[in-house]
Structure 1
Amino acid sequence: MSKEFRLNEKIRAREVRLIGVSGEQLGVVTLHEALTRAREQNLDLVEVAPMAVPPVCRIMDYGKFRYEQTKREREARKQQKVTLLKEVRLTPKIDEHDLAFKTRTVQRFLEAGDKVKVTVRFKGRELAHPQIGRQVLESVVDKLKETGNVERAPLMEGRSMSMIVAPLHGHKAAEKPARAEVPLKAGVAQQ
């Protein structure tokens, strides 16, 4: 839980602004009177705004309040879409087959809904020919037109040139299976 509230005897103010169970203002009362009113209803006195003058306290069922608050936080976390930034590294002298393999890897990441940083790393004298690295990145983009689009154009950063490719908005992320089912061979026991 993100925030802890003081309740009942843990409240240290002499006077508090009291709010009833249904949200009605009951005015500024002494802490003793507020605690008495909360106990009469078999509920808790919770300090919801400790920095206010006087502090704001509310009469409520604290257990139910905490349960609903954690439930709301869980729902909020569930609603958040976490996009990971994956990285695929290439070299300017990459072979055609290796480039195709790396491109398929990028495509798989994009289909899963992740952004991909494609980086070409230069070594030694390769740094004198950045256009070769740009050509490699452009060939990757050409092969990924159906799956993704360039979010950040190729940019030189020290000894590497990189770009960021994002999945297309209309392209749905592939549902990941919970567990891959492996068919059993006859006579072989599963471990």
Structure 2
Amino acid sequence: MEEPFKINQKILAREVRLVGDNVPQGVYTTDQARKMAQEQNLDLVEISPTATPPVCRVIDYSKFKYEQKKKTRELKAKQTKVVLKEIRFGPNTDEHDFAFKVKHAQEFLREGAKIKSYVHFVGRSIVFKERGEILLLKFAQALEDLAKVEQLPKLEGKRMFLYLAPKAAIVAKPVAKPAVAGDKQEKKAPKPAVAQEAAPQDAEAPAPAAADTE
């Protein structure tokens, strides 16, 4: 397998530009740069072959490759990781249970998860498959503001499946925090000080009574 970077003797340019914290940066002959790498028991790695002259670093190439692969795996995991939540119905699910499941589905969708909802038919209840299809379509309609249908109701064995995915505008939408209301209350806090300033005016009121006594 061909290495993604040229190292040491495979670097063919006559001169290279060294960068990094462990060497004096600048332009050197390739032989000089290799010698500087050898003195540190490290490798001379060409990281930008299209530059003039090519840019190199003096590093531990094995460790460098490991870190690059690790970053690639982490990035790939973030891109492909999809959470799938299951929501199960029976063909005779009542309105209360239906509303409860819709509420949970809304929470899952706001978190960015996909939904796999299905109606499980037990025994002879399979004869009510039309009822299951209507139930799943009703479920999709209840979530139409948050989700898009990825797969319409489809019967597989004794289960009928419906797949939903969150709409892009819903994922990671900021939620208002109660702390905001607390901030407003703090801004109103200085009002009692106004009442204290008015208090001395009330204290002058008894003065006319003293004059009547004389």
TM over 0.5: yes
The separation in 2 between residues aligned to 1:131 and 1:166, in whole angstroms, is 23
Check whether the contact 2:147–2:167 (CA below 8 A) recurs between aligned residues: yes
| Alignment match, 1:182 | none
CA deviation after TM superposition for structure 1 residue 80, in Å? 2.9
Alignment of 1:10-49 (within 5 A): 17-19=9-11, 22=17, 38-40=37-39, 42-45=40-43
Displacement of 1:171 in angstroms is: 1.6
Who is 1:156 aligned against? Answer: 155
**What residue is the counterpart of 2:141 in the other structure?**
142
Please report how far the alpha carbon of residue 127 of structure 1 lies from its aligned counterpart in structure 2 after TM superposition.
0.7
Q: Distance in 1 between matches of 2:38 and 2:9?
A: 17
- Name the count of aligned residue pairs: 146
Q: 1:38 offset after TM fit, Å?
A: 4.3
SS at match of 1:80: helix
Q: CA distance change for structure 1 residues 69 and 154 in 2, over 3 Å: closer, same or farther?
A: same
Match of 2:190 in 1: none
Amino acid at match of 1:95: D
Q: How far apart are 1:82 and its partner, in Å?
A: 2.9
Deviations 1:69-122 (A, max 9, x none): 378448736863632011111100111100110111111101111100001100
Name the structure 1 match of 2:121.
122
CA distance 1:17–1:39, change in 2 (3 Å): closer
State whether residues 151 and 164 of structure 1, in contact with CA within 8 Å, keep that contact through their aligned partners in structure 2. Answer: yes
Classify 1:59/1:171 alpha carbon distance in 2 versus 1 (closer, same or farther; 3 Å).
closer
Change (3 A) 1:90 1:128: same
Amino acid at match of 1:146: D
Deviation, 1:134, is 0.3
In structure 1, the residue matched to 2:130 is 131
Q: CA deviation at 1:60?
A: 3.3
Cα-Cα RMSD: 4.0
Compare CA radii of gyration and give the structure with the larger one.
Answer: 2
- 3-state SS, counterpart of residue 10 of structure 2: strand
Aligned-pair CA distance for 1:61: 1.3
Alpha-carbon separation, structure 2, partners of 1:93 and 1:103: 16
- Structure-2 residue corresponding to 1:83: 82
Residue of structure 2 in register with 1:62 after alignment: 60
- Give the fraction of aligned pairs with identical amino acids, expressed as a percent: 33
CA distance in 2, matches of 1:124, 1:154: 20
**Which structure's residues are more often strand, by fraction?**
1
TM-score using structure 2 length: 0.54
Q: In 2, distance between residues paired with 1:121 and 1:104? A: 20
| Contiguous gaps of at least 5 residues in structure 1 | 1-15, 27-34, 49-57, 177-191
C-alpha distance in structure 1 between counterparts of 2:17 and 2:70, whole Å? 21
TM superposition score normalised by structure 1: 0.60
1:110 lines up with 2:104 in the alignment: no
Residues 47/22 of structure 1: CA separation in 2 closer, same or farther (3 Å cut)? closer
Counterpart of 2:100 in structure 1 is 101
Letter of the 2:60 partner, please give it: Y
Is the Cα contact below 8 Å between 1:46 and 1:59 reproduced in 2? Answer: yes
